[in-house]
Structure 1
């Protein structure tokens, strides 16, 4: 017992000296107590002491980790090193975006003066994202100015604004509307197009007041065929001659403008997308307008050039019949069906005259052209995309079938 007490006094003195040294923290004091316990306490107490020490050490380490200040982002994660500009929802969509430098950037003050401060009397149309104004630019050029509404600042609206500029701003074709410039100022977004005297095809087809103001019907059969051929040529250019190819994705009557000679110009490229060289489709969510949208898009499949072909076929039937694709047609003594189903049934049965606009006079000598016209529309509106022709094939077929069609 005496020797044990001596060892205890010696160990106690050693631990006391150890505690008074540079390592006089609480942890080491607690360790000293644990060592004394080894000499005097039973095994159960020893185990409890060791477990307590480990627990307290982990607790202190965890608290120290929480108190650490976060380190700055590594250089490879800073916004300056990213291949795109990082913006937030509240950031203005302006200088952070790159636009085609070939386009003329116009100030908001110039456009306000050109449209008489965006007077209601200057409005010549409206679209999905705002009103269109007739403007007299300082250069003397008459233009159409689309002033985007607040909806244009949604993610979709901003994408469409960019797509319109980057796509249409770089394309030149007789059957595509020309964009002359744009304005991006604070929270105002405007697009400037060439002014086309006859406005939209949709107005000529469905605005009775517009037709009544004319002494004679201007949408004769030859004029309608000319419009269809112009739209077909524009789509062929987009699909076959652009690099990379472009899918419009929203072909419809309101997106076809007419110049003084009723030459068609495709406009509104807000939903347009480029196809990569390695792909024949665009992997995006469904886009388009009810009544014109291809069946595969309604089912959630990817967009291809054949979706534009389907919309073009719908437009052909709309132009020939003067019926809106989004409005159902009542079958004789039967239920209401879509325009496409109604027209395709009559094409199959050879009842072509029933499809034609009754206000349009078509002589028997033109029925051969009507038959060829309807055959093309029928092929373009096939349910299966694989059965539809390409726009290049459509142009070739129409040139062969309708080569004698002229506008008097």
Structure 2
């Protein structure tokens, strides 16, 4: 056989051989079972059984009958903006009068306020058990699909923030003349501070302590006698027995947040609440918002805590008092002691801050 013919036959054979090999490989790859094993299809997400429950409600106050979502929609006129009385953490708050005649505050949570029903139930069960005269009482909750609604006791006089800064709430007429000039006088402000301190001390000394994490003037509600009630536990988290809770969520309000939270500490602690309470004390006495910088003595902008620290170092106590407050019958020693307690609470070192139980003792 001629060499040219031999070469042609050899090439043809090689081509056929390689074609057969590739055909076998292709057939193996097309095998449905082998394909499934190599690339398993994604699993369909199955919602937890609890999340499939469309409607659920519970009450924590035996004086109230079961509150249904239909009644809440009716008494809030389908959550009409006209009935909004507050904008707290994670949701709007509405004033509503139930069929039983009881006026309540209804808070409709934002859809992403809680990650799951298990977490929501745990939080509600804990908060529903809290019974203290200086903490807003949770009356119950409703769940309907993705809607989660909280029912609280209604506190008559609104927030401390309004009474410190909103002249209309303080009883001023159009001309700016005070109708009730004695409201939020020094004694009333001390009463409010003491009430907040007692409420926080109670939460911090529970068997499983609770940290509020967002103490501020708008989260303090006032009753008809100007008693203080701590509200809005949207950022509250249970602590374990080591008095700490690791969280990746930045919580709180600028101006009130302790420095350790701002600088990256993800550990929620009772001293963090103490710091926020100290800032609130300074705000109540001075009438200055802690999150708004203002002109310092040297012409540069300064924030409340820094300003008070500087003024205390110069012993200029009476100059810090809210200019709307009458100085008549205001003992300077009381003012000095007040700022001494507040500055201890806002110490940069969490270990130096007193406990809230200690603060209650010092205030009373």
Asked if the contact 1:105–1:182 (Cα under 8 Å) also holds between the matched residues in 2, the reply is: no
Cα gap change, 1:173/1:94 in structure 2, threshold over 3 Å: closer, same or farther? farther
Q: CA deviation at 1:146?
A: 2.1
CA distance in 2, matches of 1:268, 1:226: 20
Q: CA deviation at 1:163?
A: 7.1
Asked if the contact 2:243–2:270 (Cα under 8 Å) also holds between the matched residues in 1, the reply is: no
Residues 1:313 and 2:282 aligned together: no
Q: Deviations over 1:342-392 (max 9, x none)?
A: 111111211111211011113465221111110111011111111111111
Partner of 2:136: 177
Residues 1:113 and 2:71 aligned together: no
Q: CA deviation at 1:184?
A: 2.0
CA-based RMSD = 3.5
Residues 1:140 and 2:101 aligned together: yes
Q: Which has the larger radius of gyration?
A: 1
Q: Deviations over 1:244-272 (max 9, x none)?
A: 11110000001111111111110100110
1:385 to 330, 333, 350: 350
Unaligned runs of 5+ in 2: 1-12, 174-178
Cα gap change, 1:285/1:132 in structure 2, threshold over 3 Å: closer, same or farther? closer
CA distance in 2, matches of 1:269, 1:119: 23
Asked if the contact 1:94–1:185 (Cα under 8 Å) also holds between the matched residues in 2, the reply is: no
Q: CA deviation at 1:173?
A: 0.8
Taking the TM superposition and a 5 Å limit, the aligned residue runs for 1:3-402 are 61-64=28-31, 65-66=34-35, 85=48, 95=53, 102=60, 106-148=67-109, 152-154=110-112, 165-211=124-170, 212-213=172-173, 214-240=179-205, 242-301=206-265, 302-363=267-328, 366-399=331-364
Asked if the contact 1:179–1:192 (Cα under 8 Å) also holds between the matched residues in 2, the reply is: yes
Asked if the contact 1:273–1:282 (Cα under 8 Å) also holds between the matched residues in 2, the reply is: no
Cα gap change, 1:306/1:52 in structure 2, threshold over 3 Å: closer, same or farther? farther
Cα gap change, 1:79/1:279 in structure 2, threshold over 3 Å: closer, same or farther? farther
CA distance in 2, matches of 1:379, 1:275: 24
Give the structure with the higher percent helix: 1
CA distance in 1, matches of 2:212, 2:23: 67
TM-score between the two structures when normalised by the length of structure 1:
0.73
